[in-house]
Structure 1
Amino acid sequence: MPVYNKLIRDRILEIIAADGLAYNSRVLQPKEHLTEIKNKLYEEVKEFDETTTKKEAIEEMADVLELLHAALKVYDTNFDELEAVRVKKKQKRGGFDEGLYLIDVEDK
């Protein structure tokens, strides 16, 4: 019996049951949930890093975005608030669109 011990998407248990398989699961407490969202984000970002095609990259970015939505729910906030913070930071410091890469800064 494979042991997973990880956060899964909400419908995975339905899919396992539909395949006629038995499983053990539990609902995480909010603090645990947030910890597991962070762990899963690391996993998905690693998978994004390993992509070699546009299709694979978009699939992994979608997983990252889904995890961000889950984290927002744990923090009892929403995507609009996150987007407002993103826009404010972009206006103040810029985004990452230009691909600028800092090598060093001369000391005074």
Structure 2
Amino acid sequence: MNTIIHNKLVRDRIPEIIAAAGKTCITSILSDDEYLCMLDAKLDEELAEYHQDQNIEELADLLEVVRAAAIARGYSIVQLEDICQKKRIARGGFEKRILLQEVREES
């Protein structure tokens, strides 16, 4: 028997997909604190995968984890989008591709 240890947060349907492939998986349900910790680890994992592949699938995975992290921390998606919009209005987005090279302060 071949066993692969993962110990990572996965999407809700992954155990079902593994079972449909004729494999057996062992899962557990995380506590709130464990879930927040694993979400943070998942953000790192998905960001690393995006850096490697730089495709829209990895961006979608990142967005899904950000949404889950917001909800797990007690925010709604509406609140998250509202804050994004307010920051975009107040500080702008990233469309102009501005690279801040330095700031000089005259004394």
CA root-mean-square deviation: 1.3
Give the alignment's TM-score, normalised by structure 2: 0.88
Write the deviation string for residues 35-71 of structure 1: whole angstroms up to 9, x where unpaired.
111111111111111225xxxx110111011111211
| Secondary structure at the counterpart of residue 80 of structure 2 | helix
For this pair of structures, how many residues does the alignment match?
Answer: 104
Q: Of 10, 13, 17, which residue of structure 1 is paired with 2:12?
A: 10
Q: Report SS of the residue matched to 2:11.
A: coil
Q: What letter corresponds to residue 50 of structure 1 in structure 2? A: Q
Look up the match of 2:50: 48
Percent of aligned pairs with the same amino acid: 38
Moved over 4 A (4+): none
Equivalent-residue separation in structure 1 for 2:45 and 2:25 (angstroms): 23
Residue number among 49, 67, 70 corresponding to 1:69 in the alignment: 67
TM-score by length of 1: 0.88
Counterparts of 1:51 and 1:15, CA distance in 2? 23
Tell me which residue corresponds to 1:104. Answer: 102
**Rounded Cα–Cα distance in structure 1 between residues aligned with 2:84 and 2:8:** 29
Q: In the alignment, which of 83, 86, 99 is matched to residue 85 of structure 1? A: 83
**What letter matches 2:21 in structure 1?**
D
One-letter code of the match for 2:82? A
Asked whether the equivalents of residues 71 and 77 of structure 2 are also in contact (C-alpha less than 8 Å), the reply is: no
